[in-house]
A and B are shown apart, each in its own frame.
Chain A
Amino acid sequence: MAVGAPATRAARPRTLRDARAAYGTNAELAWWVFMRISGFLLVFLTFAHLFANNILMNAGEIDYDYVASRLAQPAVRVLDSFLLGLALLHGTNGLRYVVDDYFRRPQARFWIKAVLFTVVGALFVVGVMTLWTFTFDEMGDAIRNLGQ
């Protein structure tokens, strides 16, 4: 191990009791619990998403009109919004674990996470814009309607 290597976290707890003992009530325990709850919900959200877009549909024929027909359905917008938010949080936290496991230099850890969180934050905003306004034209209409 390199001299001066940061104190990497010990192996993550394997049971809820271990997690409580290791973390008390801090943020890491909350993330540990979040990964299990979001993971459970994501099983249903992703399976439904894949079934609709890859089984009921030929994924090779997806085009603008198909996406438009999907996003015209309020239920799709709501479910895909949950999918977007939960999957981005679950995936980003998972990548954070991976960075913590494999990168030892503090500077490397900091910059990789800084870039990761920035990209994910930007993509979340872009994703919400896509799901709820769909096109820039509609976005303009929505903003103009707010002023009336």
Chain B
Amino acid sequence: MYRGREGQWAFYLHRISGVALALYLLLHVFDISLVMWGPDGPFNRFLIFYHQWPFRVGLVLIMAGVVYHALNGLRIILLDFTPWAIRYQRAMWYGVLGLTAAIGIPVLFKVIPEIIGGA
């Protein structure tokens, strides 16, 4: 822990979400590549496995990670390339969290019924 204030949490969340997204990306490229074996190949069987609810919940977390990492990344770009943003870095981080929730909560209303519906 380094000082443990907002900047520290912004960094940890950025790093954890980034690692998770990178590992997910590797898995995702692999699983989509299974379509190369054609319509009777392993793709559909693999996808049915991933449509089970624990993986759908995991996908929701990945989407939340994308939104946070993207918005906090924009905050980092502003910090790096403008002279004024550093004064508002704390406020901008709360803005990132607020926007992540503002985008994420409507998505939950769409996705949770799908998961409970057992698609």
Contact = CB atoms under 8 A, between A and B. Distances in A.
B19 A95 contact: yes
Interface residues of B, number: 39
B30 interface: yes
A123 B29 contact: yes
Interface in B11-51: 15, 18-19, 21-22, 25-26, 29-30, 32-33, 35-39, 41, 43-44, 47, 51
Contacts of A36: 76-77, 80-81
B25 A91 contact: yes
Nearest to A63: B44
Contacts of A139: 36
A120 B114 contact: no
Interface in B94-119: 107, 110-111, 114-115, 119
Q: Is the interface of A mostly helix, strand, loop or mixed?
A: helix
Contact of A54 (B26, B51, B63): B63
Contacts of A124: 29
Contact of B22 (A50, A64, A94): A94
B61 interface: no
A59 interface: yes
Interface string B65-90: 01000100110110111000000000
Nearest to B118: A60
Interface in A1-45: 14-16, 36, 39-40, 42-43
B48 to A, nearest CB: 9
A133 B38 CA distance: 11
Interface of B: 15, 18-19, 21-22, 25-26, 29-30, 32-33, 35-39, 41, 43-44, 47, 51, 56, 59, 63, 66, 70, 73-74, 76-77, 79-81, 107, 110-111, 114-115, 119
25 contacts: A14-B79, A15-B80, A36-B76, A36-B80, A36-B81, A39-B77, A47-B70, A50-B66, A55-B107, A60-B51, A61-B119, A62-B47, A63-B44, A64-B39, A64-B44, A64-B47, A67-B43, A88-B25, A88-B29, A91-B18, A91-B26, A92-B22, A119-B26, A133-B36, A135-B37
